[in-house]
Structure 1
Amino acid sequence: MISKRQSFVWLTPFLVLILLFFLVPLLYMFITSFQNSGDFTVQHYQTIVTNSYILQGFKNSITLSIVSAVIALIITLFGVYAMMNFSEPLREKILLLTNLTSNFSGIPLAFAFIVLLGNSGVFTLLFDKWNIGTLSSFSLYSWGGLLLIYIYFQLPLALMLLYPIYDGIQHQWKEAAALLGASTWQFWTKIGIPVMLPGIVGTFSVLFANAMGAYASAYALTSSNYNLVAIRIGSLIKGDIFAQPELASAIAVLLAVTMVTAMLLSEWSIAKTRRKL
């Protein structure tokens, strides 16, 4: 039997990895957000709260993250419900395909959408040829195009998170509700959805954080033409005009605070829901 001392020895490489690649960069980012030429200052945070362009970036990112998370969540709820009617081998194949699809993101995903729906994309040319006015006027490089890409890479993650929640709804509950005269609608509104609600709220918080931190796809699609927090941080670090890494660190700290706040609200909502059950 492995002792506590031996367990700690085996965990040491993992702990060192977390320290070097997570805690140290996080601490460095926090410290540099209060520095200006080596001196302590809160000027960067004052700049953020008074700069309308940076505040607009936060607004755009939060709006895009909430809308994409809600749409992906709704689509996935119906999709997983339909999956539960499939056989077990077929569900396993769908989950395998979903797992592979979840890795298709970033620059390759943006390039694939440009090939399909860009100004000279395959579907764009077909829409023009078929005179489909509404679709032919769609611009991939707008807010709608970003929303479409965000929903696409949110769907696999939402499905993998919601599938175990649906799987937790036992078939005996449905049979018992049917024997007591409850309809399918009554079962889901009175039993199914309340039981699943904590998991749904938790999934939404993960999707929100996933969208808030997305950078590569948005940058590859719009470069710096659309104002998002992640793109703004990248621009300040690499210096499109001149580099401001300290201001970028301050924005990143507030971005982390926003994501942590969303997670805490999610935990509070889950605990409150469970107390009612």
Structure 2
Amino acid sequence: MSRPRSGKGWALLCLVPFALVFIVFQIAPLAWVALHSLRTDSGWGLDNFVAAFSSRFYRQAMQFSLEISFWSSLFGIIIAVLGSYSLRRVDSKLRDFVSAFANMTSNFAGVPLAFAFIILLGFNGSLTMILKQAGLIDDFNLYSKTGLIILYTYFQIPLGVLLLYPAFDALREDWRESSALLGASAWQYWRHIGLPVLTPALLGTFVILLANALGAYATVYALTTGNFNVLPIRIAAMVAGDISLNPDLAAALAMILVGMMTLVTLVHQWLLKRSYHVAR
């Protein structure tokens, strides 16, 4: 009986470094931000949150952050699902190449990505000029909300492929063959077998993509030089800005961002439980 206890003790001891790192770099900063979000000039209260939600400017930042994150995550996961499924059906060498390329491009973000898109799709970008000369577009503004959705979608796709590709291992080929023998169409197979099996992975990946987009800062800052109104830009401006320095209000906006992700996570957990009960 002493050996299992000793093994459990060593396991708990090994968790101590991780626990310390988690507390110092996750819990402590979050607690600091939460504390300062309640600090005002007159003491403590919810004045920073009232100021954030009563301001049309900050409400617009919340709206733009949610819209860009939602649509880029949706488009990204759709393309990632199609790409991951296609990878399961192609030659192993091509699969390995695309997987390695996705792994590389998933880290291609920030200033280099913004610079690449400016060269391609800026007002005088090479691809923009080609499409204009071909008569396919009249004008395109990369620095608008639509342009940012396209930019965000680009760096969402490789991450989505890396997360969803292993999920397709759960789909067994004999399930497809059995459903075909029983007279089920391809749509019926995906409706009653494929999608229910993939639902947990799809929902989990969507939440990760949403979090990835909500917290993106370097790319949108490098592209718009901080002139587009999203929450990460507003938070950074009030922490490091020379004119609008207000770290307490920035902490409140950061907690609103945390609240958005918490709400999305709770909805994700609810949908998972519902899909589990439906599957049973």
Short-chain TM bin? over 0.9
Indicate whether 1:33 and 2:37 are aligned: yes
Q: Which range moved further: 102-111 or 87-96? A: 87-96
- C-alpha change, 1:55 and 1:137, in structure 2 (3 Å) is same
- Aligned pair count reads 275
Quote the residue 2:140 is aligned against: 138
Is the 1:72–1:154 contact (alpha carbons within 8 Å) kept by the matching residues of 2? yes
Give, in whole Å, the separation in 2 of the partners of 1:242 and 1:84: 51
Amino acid at match of 2:175: W
- C-alpha change, 1:90 and 1:38, in structure 2 (3 Å) is farther
Give the Å deviation of 1:131: 4.7
Is the 1:116–1:122 contact (alpha carbons within 8 Å) kept by the matching residues of 2? yes
For the aligned residues, what is the CA RMSD? Answer: 1.8
Give the Å deviation of 1:273: 0.5
Quote the residue 2:120 is aligned against: 116
Match of residue 251, structure 1, among 250, 253, 273? 253
Give, in whole Å, the separation in 1 of the partners of 2:86 and 2:247: 48
Give, in whole Å, the separation in 2 of the partners of 1:227 and 1:50: 16
Is the 1:209–1:259 contact (alpha carbons within 8 Å) kept by the matching residues of 2? yes
Give, in whole Å, the separation in 1 of the partners of 2:199 and 2:8: 38
Give, in whole Å, the separation in 1 of the partners of 2:117 and 2:242: 26
Give, in whole Å, the separation in 2 of the partners of 1:187 and 1:230: 42
Structure 2 residue matching 1:3: 3-state secondary structure = helix
- C-alpha change, 1:7 and 1:198, in structure 2 (3 Å) is closer
Structure 2 residue matching 1:103: 3-state secondary structure = coil
Indicate whether 1:18 and 2:46 are aligned: no
Is the 1:73–1:204 contact (alpha carbons within 8 Å) kept by the matching residues of 2? yes
Give, in whole Å, the separation in 2 of the partners of 1:4 and 1:142: 55
Give, in whole Å, the separation in 2 of the partners of 1:197 and 1:273: 7
Is the 1:80–1:163 contact (alpha carbons within 8 Å) kept by the matching residues of 2? yes
Could you state the TM-score of these two structures normalised by the residue count of structure 2? 0.92
Could you state the TM-score of these two structures normalised by the residue count of structure 1? 0.93
Match of residue 159, structure 1, among 151, 158, 161? 161
Is the 2:170–2:197 contact (alpha carbons within 8 Å) kept by the matching residues of 1? no
Give, in whole Å, the separation in 2 of the partners of 1:90 and 1:131: 32
Structure 2 residue matching 1:225: 3-state secondary structure = coil
1:30-73: per-residue Cα shift (whole Å, max 9, x none)?
Answer: 10111124821221011012111101110111111111111111
Structure 1 residue matching 2:143: 3-state secondary structure = coil
Amino acid at match of 1:247: L
Give the Å deviation of 1:6: 2.7
User: Counterparts in 2 of 1:9-88, with a 5 A limit?
Assistant: 9-37=13-41, 39-88=43-92
1:58-96: per-residue Cα shift (whole Å, max 9, x none)?
Answer: 011111111111111111222222222113343233212
Paired-residue identity, % = 37
Give, in whole Å, the separation in 2 of the partners of 1:3 and 1:181: 54
Is the 1:202–1:267 contact (alpha carbons within 8 Å) kept by the matching residues of 2? no
Amino acid at match of 2:188: Q
Is the 1:117–1:124 contact (alpha carbons within 8 Å) kept by the matching residues of 2? yes
Amino acid at match of 1:214: A
User: Counterparts in 2 of 1:127-276, with a 5 A limit?
Assistant: 127-128=131-132, 130-132=133-135, 134=137, 137-276=139-278
Q: Which runs of 5+ in 1 are unaligned?
A: none
Give the Å deviation of 1:119: 2.6
Q: Which runs of 5+ in 2 are unaligned?
A: none
Is the 1:68–1:154 contact (alpha carbons within 8 Å) kept by the matching residues of 2? yes
Quote the residue 1:96 is aligned against: 100
Q: Which range moved further: 34-43 or 171-180? A: 34-43
Quote the residue 2:9 is aligned against: 5
